[in-house]
Amino acid sequence: MPLPYTELYTALETGTVDGQENPAANILNAKFFEVQKYMTVTRHQYNPQIVLISKVFWDKLNDEEKAVLQSAATEARDYQRTVSREVDAKAMAEIKATGMEVSELNPEETQKLQRCRQAAR
């Protein structure tokens, strides 16, 4: 049965649910560390942000305009990845400082989990 995110803290606190899956920044911001003792970092999923453009619009652009937009999109991608990794590292450090016990899967275990996830699709 689905549970609204806004009810997750209370559900963890009361034992209605015994776990959740969220990025470290969400776990920190929602203060799940107050009601959840353990965290396993699996890195089984990456949630990139996507830049989209209409093919109709794209086809109307000249080569110089396409190059400018492609360059800007590549720059934005690289910046997003850098910021995302920095925010995650900071949130993880803060979570660990709260006393939550954090375990991280080794690369082999992570690959197994990724393969299971892909097979389930």
pLDDT value for 89: 96
pTM for the predicted model, two decimal places? 0.77
Tokens of 34: 């107050």
Q: Which amino acid is at 69?
A: L
Q: How far apart are CA 45 and CA 28, in angstroms?
A: 19
pLDDT value for 58: 97
Which H or E run contains 39?
strand 38-41
Q: How far apart are CA 68 and CA 65, in angstroms?
A: 5
pLDDT value for 12: 97
pLDDT value for 110: 85
**What are the structural domains of the chain?**
5-116 (3.40.190.170)
Tokens of 8: 């997750």
SS3 call for 114? helix
Successive 10-residue mean pLDDT values, the chain, 121 residues:
92 95 94 96 80 95 98 94 94 97 91 83 77
What is the number of other CB atoms lying within 10 angstroms of the CB of residue 113?
A: 15
Name the residue with tokens 């197994």.
Answer: 112
